[in-house]
Structure 1
Amino acid sequence: MTYRTPRRRFLSLTSGLAVAAAASAPRAAAAAQHGGTWLIRDVRVFDGRRTRGRGSVLVAGGRIAAFNGGPAPRSARVYDGGGRTLLPGLIDCHVHTFDGSLADSVRFGVTTELEMFGDPAALPDARRRRRSTGPSERADLWSAGAGVTVPGGHPLQPGHDFPRVTEGTDIERFVADRVAEGSDFIKVILEDGGPPPRPSLPTLTGEQVRRVIAAAHRHRRRAVVHAEKLRLALAAVRAGADGLAHAFWDVHATAEDIAEFRRAGAFVIPTLSVVDWGHGAERLLADDRVEPWLSATQRYLLQQEPPDRPGRPDFLGIGSANVGRLHTAGVPILAGTDAPIRANVGGASMLIEVEHLVRAGLSPAAALAAATAEPARRFGLADRGRIAPGLRADLLLVDGDPTTDITDLRAIAAIWKNGHLIDRTPAD
């Protein structure tokens, strides 16, 4: 089925923040004309960790120049942020990219994405782009490149060839090859099959997992493990994993299990959106604050009904309960969607994922931190994730206050990437 979205002019941002992207101008040129030096005043600021009250933020040269630092230069454009909240651009900690997905993501305030399995050929360009502070209409990308798995193991991708670990593989060399390809971190697949009737799968041995993680650390790379079952997640952190790419939703963790995760210090990226049976997608499609800005590709993906919905209807409840207990125990929680898996899409589905985190027990501020400052800290992204002088001006302006009502995050008024205003008009 083909969907067509009419071309729209950019959303008016009320008095003092009224901007329009000319429909006939190239998108990059439209973004460039709103760069330079500018100030947003009288805006509520969530700095990635906490709300700082109302104030002003000055941007120059693609970076945050000052927060409440006095008057702006006379030449600066001034925006009025009254009634709105300014946040750092969002960081989605679990995606898989494809043509156009990075552009779709940035139009919903996701300015950085961490790819958990992708094409190594794309890594050099991604590294070059994320160093720039010039106009960009794509999210920046960090990637694991090819993940570490075994022949016949997850992911099952007929027609896609990538290196796999066998019994005789030199693990040190295997990891060194991924680093040479440009992998920013190492993704380890520990998956022995889905719940019935999905088949069992071969997977890495415990010793192989331990050796891969140790090799990653020797190469100064983080090791993030795909493990959707509690027993496999425990095996991963016992082997030294830095983080888990999913929550575990097969059984409720015991108090002893939660304590072991806390002692290990590994972070968890719950990806609860992949087990909500498409209900989050339905909410996005029904929301007038979201639906008009979806591209045809996003709309198509959100309407999918995959035949292999993972497991049982209670997986979301079990996973959410585990996430809530992990958070209460002090285990770092990071936001990620696993887009475009199972009716999730880049950008828009992050709006649902942070809502899932709030339902799981995080405060709205903690859920926002899980999508901004916390990922930047855990993945070493030193130039983003917070609103502070010297950091990259990846910024998201929303109507209302998502630190008290997380659904206000859907009411996007403006997005800046590298200090340049993003045209939210979806590509036809």
Structure 2
Amino acid sequence: MVSFRDVLFTQVSLLQGALACGFHAGLSPAENPLLRRSTVPDLPTKKILIQNVRVFDGHVILPPRDIVIDGSIIGNDSSDSDEIIDGHHDFLIPGPIDSHTHVQQISHMEDLSRYEVTTAFNMNCLNFTNCEIFKSQVGLTSIFTAGVPIIAPNSDHARTTPIPKSMLITDLSQAEFEENGPTQEMQDAAVRASHSRGMQSSTHASWGIPYQQAIQSKTDSIHHIFGESLFAKKWLLRMKAQGQFSVTILTVMWYGSENPIVREYLHGTTETSQTYPIYRENVKRLHEVGVRVVAGTDAFEAGMKEIEALRAATSLPAELCSLSDRGVIAPGRRADLIPLNSDPFVNISNTKDINRVWIQGIEYTDVAKLA
């Protein structure tokens, strides 16, 4: 599987109704969106020793041990440390990865950093100059970005997304593409075009039929989940057999199903056949059959144990997206590290009890105090 280090994947929007994703409302910033609120730090050079800290390494829980931050990576030699921190038997987890965001300005990256997200996947890019700037912000959340989203005319996405008409898909030969969306043939062509260029494809589908189209196309990942009907087992098994993974975004789905103002904006009506209990049940079915589910702007994933939820936000997305330098705590990996004051395996909400945040060995000091 290819790396996400350049323009990493094609986003295919197969939605009958658009979703409560940030970019649909456009961006009218009150200030320069590229302006940093914090100063740019120097690249890290010092060695930090964290003693007596319980570690979740991305896969399993380890007994208390010492962890070394050696510049920008995790080291294995604690001699001549410049700083020693007593871990107090607290918890250390890899920096979480958010697999579905819409970053539109640098202040969004600073907010992600405050809330301990050290890597984020930006699900579309309408300005490549800005996206390149987002990818090179030392000491802030590391950003990987998709390109221009594939959207068809007359779809909800076309109505709510600030995208020029000239950039909408109108012909199968363009292979860059939503009921009123792309046909199965267009979806298939978009995925083939991505794979032929060594890129992953990411498909957004929030209704049952488009979700089936996404499965049939063998797209790499399917974002969102549908809530008007229950997931049929044959489609679950096909998704698993094809190695596709899911980014369900349950928090966003809950907000869209419960808020009539959001529903009217996205669908043009307050009526919906989708319900949060079905959204949640469908995520549970994905997990139970063994489809890999990763975290993307989710409060939690239905049916997951705490350790599974933490894997879904650390080692699993790193593995699925071929990010071999992060997602786990091991020598040689990026020093994306989050010490927690409370045990996340007692309650997953304890991941909000943040002590410190290191992003590639650089401490982000303006940490959110949520506990």
Q: TM-score scaled to structure 2, two decimals?
A: 0.80
Root-mean-square deviation over aligned CA pairs = 2.7
Letter matched to residue 356 of structure 2: A
Q: Note closer, same or farther for the CA distance 1:146–1:159 as it changes in structure 2 (3 Å cut).
A: closer
Give 1:160's aligned residue: 163
Secondary structure of the residue aligned to 1:397 is strand
Q: Note closer, same or farther for the CA distance 1:377–1:309 as it changes in structure 2 (3 Å cut).
A: farther
Q: Aligned-pair distance for 1:149?
A: 1.4
Matches of 2:209 and 2:357, distance apart in 1: 41
Matches of 1:169 and 1:314, distance apart in 2: 34
Sequence identity percentage? 26
Quick check: 2:125–2:147 contact (8 Å CA) kept in 1?
Answer: yes
Matches of 1:373 and 1:144, distance apart in 2: 21
Give 2:235's aligned residue: 257
Matches of 2:331 and 2:134, distance apart in 1: 25
Give 1:356's aligned residue: 300
Letter matched to residue 51 of structure 1: I
Question: Is 1:235 equivalent to 2:213 in the alignment?
Answer: yes
Letter matched to residue 336 of structure 1: G
Question: Is 1:415 equivalent to 2:371 in the alignment?
Answer: no
Q: Aligned-pair distance for 1:85?
A: 0.9
Quick check: 1:38–1:77 contact (8 Å CA) kept in 2?
Answer: yes
Quick check: 2:248–2:295 contact (8 Å CA) kept in 1?
Answer: yes
Give 2:7's aligned residue: none
Matches of 1:330 and 1:265, distance apart in 2: 10
Give 1:392's aligned residue: 334
Unaligned runs of 5+ in 2: 1-36
Q: Aligned-pair distance for 1:322?
A: 1.1
Matches of 2:318 and 2:260, distance apart in 1: 32
Structure-to-structure mapping, 1:8-407, within 5 angstroms: 27-28=38-39, 32=42, 36-66=46-76, 72-99=78-105, 100-119=107-126, 120-129=128-137, 135-136=138-139, 138-155=140-157, 156-157=159-160, 160-161=163-164, 163-167=167-171, 169-171=173-175, 191-192=178-179, 202-277=180-255, 306=262, 308=264, 312=272, 315-337=275-297, 353=298, 355-357=299-301, 360-407=302-349
Q: Aligned-pair distance for 1:76?
A: 2.5
Q: Aligned-pair distance for 1:167?
A: 2.2
Matches of 1:114 and 1:401, distance apart in 2: 27
**Corresponding residue pairs, total:** 324
Letter matched to residue 356 of structure 1: F
Q: Note closer, same or farther for the CA distance 1:304–1:375 as it changes in structure 2 (3 Å cut).
A: farther
1:9-50 CA distances to partner (integer Å, 9 max, x unpaired)?
xxxxxxxxxxxxxxxxx9447x65986210111111111112
Worse-superposed segment, 265-274 or 304-313: 304-313
1:41-80 CA distances to partner (integer Å, 9 max, x unpaired)?
11111111121221111011200012xx6xx223431111
Quick check: 1:364–1:402 contact (8 Å CA) kept in 2?
Answer: yes
Q: Aligned-pair distance for 1:305?
A: 6.4
1:240-298 CA distances to partner (integer Å, 9 max, x unpaired)?
11110112222111222322222222000010001223899xxxxxxxxxxxxxxxxxx
Matches of 2:276 and 2:45, distance apart in 1: 42
Q: Aligned-pair distance for 1:237?
A: 1.4
1:285-326 CA distances to partner (integer Å, 9 max, x unpaired)?
xxxxxxxxxxxxxxxxxx996463876596221111111121
Matches of 2:273 and 2:94, distance apart in 1: 34
Q: Note closer, same or farther for the CA distance 1:425–1:374 as it changes in structure 2 (3 Å cut).
A: closer
Matches of 1:108 and 1:325, distance apart in 2: 29
Greater than 4 Å deviation, 4+ residue runs: 31-35, 309-314
Secondary structure of the residue aligned to 1:123 is helix
Q: Note closer, same or farther for the CA distance 1:304–1:170 as it changes in structure 2 (3 Å cut).
A: closer
Matches of 1:164 and 1:223, distance apart in 2: 17
Q: Note closer, same or farther for the CA distance 1:232–1:90 as it changes in structure 2 (3 Å cut).
A: same
Q: TM-score scaled to structure 1, two decimals?
A: 0.70
Give 1:196's aligned residue: none
Q: Note closer, same or farther for the CA distance 1:312–1:275 as it changes in structure 2 (3 Å cut).
A: farther
Matches of 2:273 and 2:203, distance apart in 1: 24
Quick check: 1:39–1:79 contact (8 Å CA) kept in 2?
Answer: yes
